[in-house]
């Protein structure tokens, strides 16, 4: 079962960060789409595609893209602000993502980086984590569900006739779980203190010409953790 690749942003100590100096010698050429998880800070971030500065539109309810990138690996995303001298611009990195060299079509999921409670941040200073996923049709075909367990708990799933468990921080691909346009039973439980607790019961209609990303995460600011779900349907066809 594939593990997530989490790319965590570090502390950037130099205001005039040299974007190219921080990359390795590999050059990649990819197509990518973007999604934000519970943050608006990713919208409007930029990157260098060759010599051109590209600006990303990153929303929380739909995939944005595709965008193209050719350049060093990892990709560095930044925001621009006026420099100390008139007419100058400083590019401040906010996230970076390493892409496995064999991948050509990827999804970047941006989320807020963990920060100290006393930290004071502005939109320019806000740092982001980046989750990198293979998004091509071979790894994620039409008619499939990719269930991504972002929580630290085991999640038990029933999807149509399929029953399975996804460990914390792992993902599961389910292909062709039902007949086209069939109603499916959908159930998710969390294993908390060695006990399975039902969390979500719902139903979905299955479409063989679509693929769906299902994100699951635990919310712990209540008396008992509960499960939060976000579903993004990709209508792109081959």
pLDDT in tens, 137-160: 999 999 999 999 999 899 999 998
Give the CA distances from residue 158 to residues 129, 149, 150, 182, in Å, rounded to whole numbers and listed in that order: 30, 14, 18, 15
Question: In whole angstroms, what is the distance from residue 179 CA to residue 211 CA?
Answer: 14
φ, ψ (nearest 5 deg) of residue 21: -70, -20
Match 């006393």 to its residue by tokens: 118
6 pLDDT more than 60: no
Question: In whole angstroms, what is the distance from residue 159 CA to residue 164 CA?
Answer: 9
pLDDT given for residue 178 in this prediction: 83
What is the DSSP annotation of 121-165? --TTT--EEEEEEE-STTTS-TTEEEEEE-SSS-EEEEETTEEEE
What are the pLDDT digits (tens) for 49-60? 999 999 999 999
Cβ neighbours, 10 Å, residue 205:
11
Match 């420099």 to its residue by tokens: 83
Domain chopping of the chain, boundaries: 6-134, 144-234
pLDDT given for residue 19 in this prediction: 45
**Reported confidence tier of residue 66, pLDDT bands at 50, 70, 90:** very high
**Is the Cβ–Cβ distance between 69 and 47 less than 8 Å?**
yes
124 pLDDT more than 60: no
- 116-136: average pLDDT: 70
pLDDT given for residue 223 in this prediction: 75
Match 């595709």 to its residue by tokens: 66
Question: In whole angstroms, what is the distance from residue 231 CA to residue 151 CA?
Answer: 15
pLDDT given for residue 218 in this prediction: 85
**Reported confidence tier of residue 3, pLDDT bands at 50, 70, 90:** very low
pLDDT given for residue 222 in this prediction: 67
pLDDT given for residue 114 in this prediction: 64
φ, ψ (nearest 5 deg) of residue 93: -65, 140
Could you tell me what percent of the chain has a pLDDT over 90?
A: 60
């Amino acid at each position: 079962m594939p593990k997530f690749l989490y790319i965590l942003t570090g502390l950037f100590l130099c205001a005039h960060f040299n974007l190219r100096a921080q990359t390795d010698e590999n050059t990649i050429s990819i197509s990518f789409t973007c999604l934000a998880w519970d943050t608006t800070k990713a919208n409007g971030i930029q990157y260098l595609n060759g010599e051109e500065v590209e600006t990303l539109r990153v929303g929380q309810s739909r995939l944005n893209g595709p965008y193209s990138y050719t350049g060093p690996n990892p990709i560095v995303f930044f925001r621009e602000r006026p420099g100390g001298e008139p007419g100058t611009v400083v590019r401040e990195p906010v996230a970076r993502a390493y892409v496995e060299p064999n991948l050509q079509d990827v999804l970047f999921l941006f989320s807020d980086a963990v920060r100290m409670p006393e930290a004071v941040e502005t939109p320019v200073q806000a740092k982001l984590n980046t989750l990198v996923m293979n998004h091509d049709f071979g790894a994620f075909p039409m008619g499939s569900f990719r269930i991504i367990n972002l929580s630290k708990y085991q999640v038990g799933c029933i999807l149509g006739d399929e029953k399975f468990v996804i460990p914390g921080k792992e993902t599961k691909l389910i292909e062709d779980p039902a007949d086209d346009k069939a109603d499916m039973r959908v159930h998710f439980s969390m294993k908390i203190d060695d006990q399975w607790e039902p969390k979500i019961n719902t139903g979905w209609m299955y479409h063989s010409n679509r693929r769906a990303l299902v994100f699951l995460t635990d919310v712990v600011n209540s008396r008992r953790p509960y499960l939060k779900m976000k579903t993004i349907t990709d209508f792109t066809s081959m």
